[in-house]
Amino acid sequence: MKVKEKYLNFYYETIGETEEPVINPKKTALLLVDLQNEFVLRDFGEALQFKEAGEWERWIPFHDRLDDIVIPNNKKLLDFFRKNNLTVTYGRIACLREDGEDRSPVQKSEGWNGMLLPVNSFAAQMIDELAPQENEIVVNKTTDSVTTGTNYLQLLQFMGIETVVVTGIVTDQCVASTVRGLADAGYKVICVEDACAAGSMELHDAELKIMSVIYCDVFSTDETIALIEKNL
């Protein structure tokens, strides 16, 4: 399998090709990261803060990508996994205390990373288009990675999962931290390039290039579905 030149980093420039990952669909989980009302909606949460601060213009490309590409592709993946009775999981930023005292220091900090999303608040919920259904696992986190400070890895182990397909926002922070945590824990990881987004395409592409081959395979939505489908 030829690594996409766009995501071929310095360490693997000379490898040519890699083996196509062997996927057991029944041991594969989809993980949607942080696609929550706070971060996705244009008339709520962060978007309102950006507008009040006069920063909205530079965030419009991010929201356009979410609306036009990322959300439709996540829906496509969800429909595929659900249709084939495969495992669907979610990771979201949500603190258990209303005052947020259980948050990590990063989320208590000033600036963009500082956030207070109580677990039952509207802000913390996944957007309606991608909302979890019955029997789909939702893991709450107060860190970047879904694997840190949660029981997510243990749940994967109990369910016999071997491969995790990761999507969500933002590519260079919570998605990347999660991909690395999964890879370090011994899981095969696919990061779906057109089902993720970062604040800019420059950051998105740079992070995928850094992670490609080392921590994950970088596939499109259609490539991911085709790979799983041929092993059903």
Q: Give all domains of the chain, ordered by start, each with its CATH number.
A: 24-229 (3.40.50.850)
Q: Is 47 helix (H, G, I), strand (E, B) or coil?
A: helix
Tokens 């945590």 found at: 181
**pLDDT band with cut points at 50, 70 and 90 for residue 109:** confident
Quick one: pLDDT at residue 107? 85
Strand partners, 95: 118
Q: Is 218 helix (H, G, I), strand (E, B) or coil?
A: strand
Per-residue pLDDT for 15 more than 90? no
Quick one: pLDDT at residue 102? 86
Average of per-residue pLDDT across 78-84:
98
Write down the mean pLDDT value for the chain.
95
What percent of the chain has a predicted confidence (pLDDT) above 70? Answer: 100
- Helix locations, the chain, DSSP H: 37-40, 46-52, 56-65, 71-83, 152-159, 176-184, 201-211, 221-229
Query: What are the angstrom distances between the C-alpha of 87 and each of 60, 101, 153?
Result: 33, 32, 14
Looking at 50-59, 98-107, 198-207, which range is the least confident one?
Answer: 98-107
Per-residue pLDDT for 122 more than 80? yes
What percent of the chain has a predicted confidence (pLDDT) above 90? Answer: 86
What is the per-residue pLDDT across 23-53, written as a single tens digit (0 to 9) for each? Answer: 999 999 999 999 999 999 999 999 999 999 9
Average of per-residue pLDDT across 170-192:
98
Average of per-residue pLDDT across 57-82:
98
Per-residue pLDDT for 160 more than 80? yes
**pLDDT band with cut points at 50, 70 and 90 for residue 132:** very high
**pLDDT band with cut points at 50, 70 and 90 for residue 77:** very high
Q: Is 163 helix (H, G, I), strand (E, B) or coil?
A: strand
Q: Is 31 helix (H, G, I), strand (E, B) or coil?
A: strand
The model's pTM? 0.96
Q: What is the DSSP letter of 14?
A: T
**pLDDT band with cut points at 50, 70 and 90 for residue 223:** very high
